[in-house]
Amino acid sequence: MTQEEEIKTAQKILSDFLSLQQMRCTAERDKIVECIYTYNGHFTPDTIYELMKKSFRVSRGTVYNTFEVLVKCNLIVQHHFLNNRVEYEKTTANATHHHRICTKCGEVVEFSDLKIKRAIKNRTFTTFDVDYQTIYLYGICKKCKRKYGLK
Ligand SMILES: [Zn+2]
Ligand SMILES: [Zn+2]
């Protein structure tokens, strides 16, 4: 899927979700989806707000509210990293990588693994549908190992 198709698909999912809730799909919400789906990596509502306000009139409140809706319709996923760090990313990105977290410095590194991907895909449940996936591995990074003199 091209990026443009990905944006269109995401906007469709959002508008379908909103009409089910009898909520309006506004130009702002569509623009937020576009901004998120062209952004690579982790972000916060403030990241998107700062990016958008350069070319589009939007309030911080609208961005925050829209994030809640986007989580509910599975377009973005909320990550809780160490030290109460909350970040988001596209659910489509989650199909491709996992996260390695250092418990000393909190550094987050993304990694992918084809074997894990296949294993998850092959794991089906009769009473549960998988929408997206992410694995968090906790441990100590090389820098911290050296810093704390750990073997
Ligand atoms: Zn570390
Ligand atoms: Zn990530």
- CA 74 to centroid of ligand 1, rounded, Å: 31
- CA 89 to centroid of ligand 2, rounded, Å: 6
* 53 plus 104 within the same structural domain: no
Total tally of structural domains belonging to the chain: 2
Say what the pLDDT of residue 38 is.
93
* 7 plus 74 within the same structural domain: yes
Confidence at 96, pLDDT banded by 50, 70, 90 = confident
Would the pTM of this model clear 0.75, i.e. be above it?
yes
Confidence at 16, pLDDT banded by 50, 70, 90 = very high
CATH number of 75's domain: 1.10.10.10
- CA 53 to centroid of ligand 2, rounded, Å: 24
Please indicate, yes or no, if residue 90 is contained in any of the structural domains: no
Report the alpha-carbon distance of residue 52 to residue 60 in Å, rounded.
10
- CA 141 to centroid of ligand 1, rounded, Å: 4
Give the type of residue at 103.
T
* 10 plus 71 within the same structural domain: yes
Say what the pLDDT of residue 151 is.
78
Domain range spanning residue 66?
3-79
- CA 98 to centroid of ligand 2, rounded, Å: 6
Please indicate, yes or no, if residue 84 is contained in any of the structural domains: no
Please indicate, yes or no, if residue 86 is contained in any of the structural domains: no
- CA 147 to centroid of ligand 1, rounded, Å: 9
**DSSP helix/strand/coil, 58:** coil
Q: Indicate if the pLDDT at residue 95 is higher than 80.
A: no
* pLDDT above 90 coverage of the chain, percent: 78
Confidence at 60, pLDDT banded by 50, 70, 90 = very high
* 63 plus 7 within the same structural domain: yes
**DSSP helix/strand/coil, 66:** helix
Please indicate, yes or no, if residue 85 is contained in any of the structural domains: no
Confidence at 25, pLDDT banded by 50, 70, 90 = confident
- CA 108 to centroid of ligand 2, rounded, Å: 8
Residues 6+ apart with CB under 8 A from 100: 108, 109, 110, 111, 136, 137, 139
Confidence at 132, pLDDT banded by 50, 70, 90 = confident
Report the alpha-carbon distance of residue 28 to residue 123 in Å, rounded.
38
